Amino acid sequence: MLKVAGVRDGRPHDARHTAATVLLVPSVPERTVMGIMGWSSTAMAARYQHVTDPIRHVVAVQVGGLLDRRGSGSGWQLRP
């Protein structure tokens, strides 16, 4: 049935990892994620949420927006 539907074979447990990771993308607060996922411990976020390349890219762009290259050889500085 999965093959006919074009869905890869996976375990329901894998879907929990995916759902938890998807909640990282819009920066859902950890307490909200805990409520949605039914977790009582913040340690579960570390176990189930995975930082993906697109998330790393967003963070890099955000941090890059805070930095400014001023003058030759002076290095990077925080923008005022």
CA distance 3 to 16: 21
**pTM of the shown model:** 0.65
**Residue found under tokens 């003058």:** 71
Q: Give 10-65 pLDDT, tens digit per residue.
A: 888 888 999 999 998 888 999 999 999 999 999 999 999 999 998 899 889 888 88
The predicted pLDDT at position 68 comes to 73
CA distance 22 to 36: 12
The predicted pLDDT at position 41 comes to 93
Quick one: average pLDDT of 68-77? 65
CA distance 66 to 76: 10
Do residues 57 and 25 lie in contact, with contact meaning Cβ atoms separated by under 8 Å?
no
DSSP bridge partners of 69: 76
